[in-house]
Chain A
């Protein structure tokens, strides 16, 4: 009985030690790289942190099965803003400095997106080659260029230019 009491008294100490183990053992808090484009994500930050997996999962089914290729919740578009094109992120699992992988390593949640998906943005895939600046000039079609469109997407431009 005495032994049992002593053991039970140890429990809170053990629990406290375990919970503080990350701080004591030094698992690095992720150094999440700053996004390279835009000033704001497509959703509010706390919403994104909680729900990005739901947005991505819903959108992937929409794209695969229904052919909906809107850009707001598209994984490819995430990479466009959040991953610099020149960053040496080779490796199918992505290195620790990759925007997605850094937080996921810290949280201990394994993602397998990048076993298949490219880890870097591929800018040339963004816009269809039919729509080139020269052709637009010839037709006198006034469409904004890609940088303007992206900034609009990220909510950078003043209200007047947004539809």
Chain B
């Protein structure tokens, strides 16, 4: 059976034209933007040639703003839990306020699944429902999740949540249901079609531009150039998990 690919040919054509047409924009000295991420054809499997990552500049993150959280909730249909207590409500991304004890310095930043290269959640999942896709995104296959919550115990970033009640009105792009564990999936339905995660778009729309998303393996991408040039840190780097999410300014 041949798979129909016309819609994707058209999209791919447009995007490649768009990419060629995009001029190099200068964002910062020595850092150039070379076109948007190209969507891969829908019938091609993902490969490890790409490694999706995020870079968050906490110096640009505003303390009272949670546009990223709201955009994520809207995109993924979170917040429709009517019966769960506050401690039971799932959150994919949250704003964390830090205060350095020794100096008093205050930092505000978003925290989500760090999409580790060596994810402990994938190691401990008994059925393999928690897994890392070839292009670096860590996902939960909710078809085989049995709801044991071992991944929630194992995650060093407290990124995972359990759906504590039966849900209705899920988004078509983010199926989620009672008894299964979920977390930030880097908006992979969007990314697979050449887009950006909702939080990144929202942050840019707010004017802060604290979050960048891109292919860490592509030396021409903005994120790869930034992490090669400026100092960035990974949270809990001592665990050796090599997260795909990096931070500047902490």
Q: Please give the residue numbers on chain A whose beta carbons come within 8 Å of chain B beta carbons, in ascending order.
A: 43, 60-62, 64-72, 76, 79, 90-92, 112, 115-118, 120-122, 125, 127-131, 135-136, 139, 141, 143-144, 149, 152-153, 163
Indicate if the CB atoms of B170 and A71 lie closer than 8 Å. Answer: no
B191 to chain A, nearest CB (A): 9
The interface residues of chain B lying within 8 Å CB-to-CB of A65 are 131, 133, 141
Indicate if the CB atoms of A70 and B176 lie closer than 8 Å. Answer: no
B5 to chain A, nearest CB (A): 7
Indicate if the CB atoms of A136 and B3 lie closer than 8 Å. Answer: no
Indicate if the CB atoms of B43 and A139 lie closer than 8 Å. Answer: no
Q: Please give the residue numbers on chain B whose beta carbons come within 8 Å of chain A beta carbons, in ascending order.
A: 1, 3-7, 10-11, 13-15, 17-18, 39-40, 42-46, 131, 133-135, 139, 141-143, 166-173, 175-178, 180, 188-190, 192-195
Indicate if the CB atoms of B43 and A118 lie closer than 8 Å. Answer: no
Indicate if the CB atoms of A71 and B193 lie closer than 8 Å. Answer: no
The interface residues of chain B lying within 8 Å CB-to-CB of A139 are 14, 17-18
User: What is the bound-complex CA distance between A53 and B11, given in angstroms?
Assistant: 30
User: What is the bound-complex CA distance between A91 and B11, given in angstroms?
Assistant: 35
Main secondary structure of the interface of A (DSSP, over half): loop
The interface residues of chain B lying within 8 Å CB-to-CB of A69 are 42, 189, 192-193
- The residue on B at minimum CB distance from A57 is B143
The interface residues of chain B lying within 8 Å CB-to-CB of A128 are 11, 39, 190, 193-195
User: What is the bound-complex CA distance between A139 and B141, given in angstroms?
Assistant: 39
A78 to chain B, nearest CB (A): 12
